[in-house]
Amino acid sequence: MGSTTLGLHRWPILAYQRVTLPQRSTQLLPKFYSLSSERCRRGGFGFGACSSKLEKSIRGCATNAFVVADDETYGNKQIISITPRLYDYILANVREPEVLRQLREETASMRGSQMQVSPDQAQLLAMLVQIHGAEKCIEVGVYTGYSSLAIALVLPESGRLVACERDSRSLEVAKKYYDRANVSHKVDVKYGLAADTLRSLILNGEACSYDFAFVDADKRMYPEYFELLLQLVRIGGLIVFDNVLWHGKVADPEVNDAKTVSIRNFNADIMEDERVSISMVPIGDGMTICRKR
């Protein structure tokens, strides 16, 4: 699920090496440099010390950090590297409705609060829905409803959001805020397994009728959700997947736990899938936006 932490951006150096990813062909990973890592080394910390004193060192030496791909074909393009200070600035420039702020703060005290998408992610989702003129949407994985509420708030009065969630306790919080925001009439809550709900929608004759879908649920189920949503979303419709960078673990060849491997494989498969156009966006824990062709 979404995360408001910066774990994804806190490791500024990737070594240039050949690695073999599980069940994938050998890939060449580019080398990146950053002002933060250089300053840490020159200051006598060394990479190990920087990583062991993460918060202190990053805050102290990465105020103006950027990364540059070592591969010359990228033209020495400088890419911003999100630091805690910069992320605070980004969040300060998010237009977060009051009801979303209240939900976010209540969720922060709950178990699993890191699963909630960040405010900047929710703002992007809402904008995608608005730009697309979406009226029929699906969310797979609601948790306490932050992202679904952000979407429901921008849907037209006749709009509909099918919200799939299997945890009843977190769903009660979501329902409370749907009511508080006066959008309950737009949200069709489906309690149970999301895959079963999606299949029932297809059997109910709703294939190719949805404009937008957001997936933030069991990562190992992403391939199945993708196939089901491809049937439900119309041509030109969008499907957005969260956590595709998985705290940076997908780029680390030494990390091969089941969830990381499943996301890594999903990313590789979707990269080759000609049924969709894609854009992987480094916001939150990484989101991939798919447009059905």
0.85 surpassed by pTM: no
Cite the beta strand spans of 36-83 per DSSP E: 66-69, 78-80
Tell me whether residue 9 is exposed, middle or buried, using C-beta atoms within 10 angstroms of its C-beta: 0 to 12, 13 to 18, 19 or more.
buried
Tens digit of each residue's pLDDT, the chain (293 residues):
554 433 343 333 333 333 333 344 334 333 333 333 333 333 332 333 333 333 333 333 344 567 777 778 888 888 888 899 999 999 999 999 999 999 999 999 999 999 999 999 999 999 999 999 999 999 999 999 999 999 999 999 999 999 999 999 999 999 999 999 999 999 999 999 999 999 999 999 999 999 999 999 999 999 999 999 999 999 999 999 999 999 999 999 999 999 999 999 999 999 999 999 999 999 999 999 999 99
